[in-house]
Structure 1
Amino acid sequence: MSELSAGLLLVATPELLDPNFADAVVLLLDVDADGALGVVVNRPSPVLVGDVLGEWGEAASEPEVLFRGGPVSTEGALAVGRLADPTAAPPGFRAVLGEVGVVDLDAPVAVVGAALRDLRVFAGYAGWGAGQLEAEVEEGSWYVVPGEPGDAFRADTRALRRDVLRRQPGELAWQATRPADPALN
């Protein structure tokens, strides 16, 4: 895939050495001429959503913990939800790709939470300036692949990176079984 857009996944390649993104799977939420924004969907923290955001903890999907969304603005929270009925988006929901979208945490929990099948809350996000992400993709730091609605809401994210790569066509699927250090193979 060459065109970056919201809803796609970025999967860190072995060449990406930044510890913030090693083995990361990032859901892109916004891509435009000014840059890109996404959240790392496979890094749960031990902090309960309810301990930080009260009622939103009841709406959060299992595990009901904050996820480390990225190194930017880690003191803030950003939420991603999946609609129970894709034809009935409540106020406070901005679609990213079909039934998956960004949830406004200032909206009433009773209204938004009732319309969601899944909700994940992220502390921080990943952000790139104009042209920065495109340059990282070009240098081989990221695989850009289609996302599936359930990717951001898996209860157990330990195998997410491998599973996302495994479902890709052609040689990219082989990357799912690549050892951390191919020289030791």
Structure 2
Amino acid sequence: MPSFYADRLFTALERGEPSPGMLLISAPGMLSDMFARSVILIIEHNEVLTFGVNLTQRSELAVANLMPEWADVVAKPQALYIGGPVNQQSVVGLGVTRPGVDINAAPQLNRLANRLAHIDLRSDPAELGELVEGMRLFAGYCEWAPGQLDDEIERGDWYIVPALPGDVIMPGRADLWGDVMRRQPMPLPLFSTYPADVAEN
């Protein structure tokens, strides 16, 4: 089954290139349980590493209990998300700017895409609240060594697509993986209801 997806689905489609502001969408039939139905926003990609956070894994921990100074800025549901398996003691912030905000003029923000920014968490939350309409906090991150992500893409594990600002602050009840798949060219929308565990289908 995995060879079907790699050989027929992904090698037949035009591939995007990994870069900040792009999404890695896990392939239907992803063998890794950790990344099944994952949507990973790339924050940095260079010759040394690729670094990003998984947008889909919400924890049961409330931001108000862990980082109360950020509670008023974080979008609902106001929970800490699990950005990935690496260094879960660190926290990564992502935000969607208010209309008209110039990301490049705000030192607290590092532009990833239109209205989408990596946030410097050393910033004053009150000042940041004037710049963003919502943000998420992620414990940990995903990281790939040089060449590792390229090998996984070649194998058919990931599909690369542009991120939309709303992907980062999507409501907790939403199926982000399915929604991102549905807005892609055919045949990807056909797989938008593919379950994480085929046995559940």
Q: How does 1:141-160 map to 2 (within 5 A)?
A: 141-156=157-172, 158-160=174-176
Using the aligned pairs only, state the percent identity.
32
Partner of residue 70, structure 1: 84
Which secondary structure state, in structure 1, belongs to the residue aligned with residue 187 of structure 2?
helix
Q: How does 1:27-176 map to 2 (within 5 A)?
A: 27-89=41-103, 90-156=106-172, 158-176=174-192
CA contact under 8 A between 1:15 and 1:140: conserved in structure 2? no
CA contact under 8 A between 1:27 and 1:41: conserved in structure 2? yes
Task: State the AA in 2 paired with 1:163.
Answer: D
CA separation in 2, counterparts of 1:117 and 1:148? Answer: 14
CA separation in 2, counterparts of 1:167 and 1:54? Answer: 35
With normalisation by structure 2, the TM-score equals 0.85
1:53-100 deviation line (CA, Å, top 9, x unaligned): 121011100001100000011011000011103433333111111210
CA separation in 1, counterparts of 2:47 and 2:138? Answer: 24
CA separation in 1, counterparts of 2:56 and 2:194? Answer: 19
1:25 pairs, out of 14, 17, 39, with 39
Unaligned 5+ segments in structure 1 are: none
1:7 and 2:24 correspond: no
Partner of residue 3, structure 2: none
Partner of residue 181, structure 1: 198
RMSD of equivalent CA atoms? 1.8
Which of the pair is proportionally richer in strand? 1
CA separation in 2, counterparts of 1:161 and 1:35? Answer: 24
Single out whichever of 64-73 and 138-147 deviates more from structure 2.
Answer: 138-147
Task: State the AA in 1 paired with 2:141.
Answer: Y
Unaligned 5+ segments in structure 2 are: 1-14
CA contact under 8 A between 2:75 and 2:134: conserved in structure 1? yes
Which secondary structure state, in structure 1, belongs to the residue aligned with residue 165 of structure 2?
coil
Which secondary structure state, in structure 2, belongs to the residue aligned with residue 174 of structure 1?
helix
CA contact under 8 A between 2:113 and 2:163: conserved in structure 1? no
Post-superposition offset of 1:35: 1.9
Single out whichever of 35-44 and 7-16 deviates more from structure 2.
Answer: 7-16
CA contact under 8 A between 1:48 and 1:65: conserved in structure 2? yes
CA contact under 8 A between 2:38 and 2:177: conserved in structure 1? yes
CA separation in 2, counterparts of 1:82 and 1:107? Answer: 15
CA contact under 8 A between 2:47 and 2:146: conserved in structure 1? yes
